[in-house]
Amino acid sequence: MDDLTKEFIAESQEGLDRMERCLTELETRPDDAELLGEIFRAVHTIKGTTGFLGFDRLEKLAHSGEHLLGSLRDGRLTVTSDLISGLLRLMDGLRAILVLIEETGGEGTRAGDEDGELIAELAELNGQMPAEHVEERESGLEIALVEGTRTSEAPVATMPVAGAAGPVLEKTSGGGGDKTLRIDVDVLNRMMNLVGELVLTRNQMLQSGMEAANFPELARRLDSVTADLRETVMQARMQPVGNLFGKFPRMVRDLSRTCGREVRVEFSGQETGLDKSLLEAIKDPLTHAVRNAVDHGIESPADRVLAGKAAEGCLRLRAFHESGSVVIEVADDGAGIPTERVLQKAIERNLVTAEQAAEMSEREVLQLIFLPGFSTAAAVTTVSGRGVGMDVVRANVEKVGGSVELESRKGLGTTLRLRVPLTLAIVPSLVVRSGGHSFALPQSALVELVDIPQREFAQVVQRIGSSELFRLRERLLPMVWLDRLLGLETESPETSKGHYLAVLEAEGCRYGLVVDDLMSPEEIVVKPLSPVLREIGLFSGATVLGNGTLALILDIGATAARAGVKPVEEESGDAEASESSKTKGAGRAEASFLIFADGARGRTALPLNVVERIESVPLSQIEYAGGRPLLQYRGELLPLKDDGGVLAELELEQRAGEEVLVTVLICGGRVAGGVQRVGMVVRKVLDVSDGTLLDADAAEGMELAMVKDRVTMVHRESGMSVGTGAAAWQEVA
């Protein structure tokens, strides 16, 4: 195929994508001339170019479509549902031919296709206005012509056209578009410049050699060029989520017709960028989620009116950034998930026992939906209810390092949140050692780390039969020994300094992985493994560490499965957690606190759930702007709170040439438009403990709590203060 044709196909497909979006919008805003203009242009461009390239079949179809759209534009026709359906079928027809051209290089005029039917249908739609005699005759002539060439064909009902277009549509989205990517020329130029710089730096390095005085400087330059280059390539791979959203209005329209629903689709955050490969990976889960929302979520118009809601349901698709990942939310305002039906089904399918079911919290019940083979649809419809559902959604999202959350409020609707990392290729992870090997654990699965010194080992590890459990804040956590699981040499208890427990969570399982040592957290570049090693099923890839050695990336979910950790078993553990969080929510009495000392006040605490990380930072890295301390943290500027005057104290203590480390608690608070972080400078972190809030004095910004039988000051949850802090900082800047 020549370049011209290739370009034509890519352009036409883009045009049709636009047309698809506009068409569904047109149905809601039938008088929008701009929309109509856009659609007309798409079809017109195809028609114009095909004539030039010699694709007669395509031209004929596009021509008839253009005709119809022309009448519509001139106001001789009004937008009806049938008309939109007809135009959508026209679009499918055009797409099908484009795919054919792409695959075979020709448009396959000889093949038995139903263009004639489609053209006839379009003409009929066009001919509904009696005033258009001339046009009608013209198109009529055309039909005769087209049908004349295919006399042998029996007339086929128009429905199969739409039916046949289905798989073709899938193919288009699965085929052609994936292999090519449009990149801004500026981005490409920047990449080229960076590659040039990379080559120059390499040349200099090769010439100067290791011993040269400027070697460290060269290494630094290499580092920055590499970082820039990486960022630029990532940027080039980023695609707006809107590309993915674009196909949903059409899908929802078709679905709501088959299911007898009235659904309006709303979008926000289409411009949110996501790595192309990830966009591909979440396409199916998202489609599934949207299908579920229309079929199961939103009720029939009659039911909705009875429930006092508008007959038209609303489906909201939202994409936004949140703490280094992209969240895609599918929310409907339907009936919510009927928990009692879920439970009933779960008992029927032997997923839980009746006794277990009685004790389950609502959140837990919702988790049941993610179990394989679960579907609550009363009847199996063509749309959903075949028992492959949410488990597949979750598995697919977790495969790319993401997670799925489900929220449902009875009578008010269901929200499904897909959380995916920004990019696949580079994963923040923690490198651990076990049995003399290095392994990388993806940070996304890591919940917390517990240090178990050898002498305390016997006390904290508890046994039921042969299985070992770790008691973590009154929850029993199954322990998995990585070295034993992998059949590695185990350290003898005498020489061992103790172990670390990495609390991991994946595919609904939570467990503690016992490793010998923790290495540094590293941003690793994932390299695929050969099929033979993939077959082992425990490693999702390998990576080259900073010291040049290789580390295998542990597949957290598979490891859990291999060790026999089951998600359902885990649910019982979850119950306690949600139980305690429930009481927490109810009276705000019980909570977990992080207790620390900051210069002036001694014992102070923060609610544990606002603390994201604890970092050690060299004092020299803390910068000041307008007298306010700031920290550059993971690409963002973090305002620091130093109420206890720790920084000043440390400044005094610091002697020349010595590096003093500052402990900073990274606290995140939700504010409008995402998460706002602030760093809290503390002297020393003391403990994590449960406590009771005693007195909530809103004016002071501090509260008192009883933690470990001692009265402790508690910083108020930082949401508000963070907001004002950031605002104040912005003024300074």
Partner 1 sequence: MRLGEWDRADEIQDEDDAVSLCSLYAGSESFGIDTNKIREVLGERELQRVPMSPAFIAGVVPYRGEVLTTVNLRALLGMEEHAGRCCVLVMEDDGAGERFGLVVDAVGGVVTVSRRKLEANPCTLEARGRWLFDGAYKMETGLMIRLDPMKLCPSRLSETGLFRPSMNGGTDASPDRR
Choosing from 159, 210, 532, 586, the residue that interacts with partner 1 (CB under 8 A) is 532
Of 32, 147, 262, 468, which one interacts with partner 1 (CB under 8 A)? 468
Distance (Å, rounded) from C-alpha 197 to C-alpha 289?
45
User: CA distances (Å), 515 to each of 185, 435, 663, in order?
Assistant: 48, 8, 25
Nearer to partner 1, 360 or 553 (CB): 553
The window from 177-185, 198-206, 330-338, 466-474 that contacts partner 1 (CB under 8 A) reads 466-474
Q: Which of 61, 244, 452, 480 binds partner 1 (CB under 8 A)?
A: 480
Instruction: Specify the residue, 434 or 663, whose C-beta has the smaller distance to partner 1.
Output: 434
Q: Encoding tokens for residue 216?
A: 């460290």
Rounded to 10 degrees, the C-alpha dihedral 464/470/476/478 comes to: -70
Q: Smaller CB distance to partner 1: residue 91 or 565?
A: 565
Q: Judged by CB under 8 A, which of 23, 39, 479, 714 binds partner 1?
A: 479
In contact, 432 and 439? CB cutoff 8 Å: yes
User: What is residue 183's three-state secondary structure?
Assistant: coil
Minimal distance, residue 514 CB to partner 1, in Å: 10
In this structure, the strands spanning 446-453 and 467-472 are unpaired
Q: What is the per-residue burial (b if ≥16 Cβ within 10 Å, else e) of 378-393?
A: eeeeebbbeeebbbeb
| Neighbouring-strand partners of residue 623 | 630
Residues 190-209 that bind partner 1 (CB under 8 A): none
CB of 541 to partner 1, least distance (A): 8
413 vs 512, which CB is nearer to partner 1? 512
The answer to the question of residue 229 lying near partner 1 (CB under 8 A) is no
CB 274 within 8 A of CB 239: yes
Distance CA 19, CA 25 (A): 10
Question: Binding pattern to partner 1, positions 485-504, x when CB under 8 A?
Answer: xxxx----------------
* Residue of the chain from 466, 492, 495, 616 that contacts partner 1 (CB under 8 A): 466
> How many CA atoms, within 13 angstroms, populate the side-chain half-sphere of residue 413?
15
Cα separations in angstroms, 520 against 438, 441, 442, 443, 706? 11, 11, 13, 12, 36
Residues 6+ away with beta carbon under 8 Å from 574: 363, 364, 367, 510
Q: Which is nearer to partner 1, 475 or 562 (CB)?
A: 562
- According to the binding rule CB under 8 A, does residue 467 interact with partner 1? yes
Establish if 511 lies at the interface with partner 1 (CB under 8 A).
no
Site for partner 1 in 435-454 (CB under 8 A): 435, 437
CB count, 10 Å around CB of 98? 24
Q: Of the listed pieces 39-47, 315-323, 546-554, 712-720, which binds partner 1 according to CB under 8 A?
A: 546-554
Query: What one-character-per-residue DSSP string does 481-507 give?
Result: EHHHHTTPPPPPTTT--EEEEEEEEET
Binding residue for partner 1 (CB under 8 A) from 527, 582, 634, 684? Answer: 527
Window of 98-106, 212-220, 445-453, 524-532 that interacts with partner 1 by CB under 8 A: 524-532
538 is an interface residue for partner 1 by CB under 8 A = yes
d(CA 156, CA 399): 43
77 lines the binding site for partner 1 (CB under 8 A):
no
**Range in contact with partner 1 (rule: CB under 8 A) among 204-212, 386-394, 530-538, 604-612:** 530-538
Find the binder of partner 1 among 544, 589, 661, 720 (CB under 8 A).
544
Instruction: Please count the residues of this chain forming the interface with partner 1, following the rule CB under 8 A.
Output: 35
Q: Which of residues 75, 373, 528, 626 is near partner 1 by CB under 8 A?
A: 528
Cβ closer to partner 1: 412 or 536? Answer: 536
From CA 498, how far away is CA 451, in angstroms rounded?
A: 8
Please report, as residue ranges, which positions from 548 to 567 form the binding site for partner 1 (by CB under 8 A): 548-552, 562-564
Q: How many CB atoms lie within 10 A of CB 528?
A: 10
Binding site for partner 1 (CB under 8 A): 435, 437, 466-468, 479-481, 484-488, 527-533, 535-536, 538-539, 541-542, 544, 548-552, 562-564
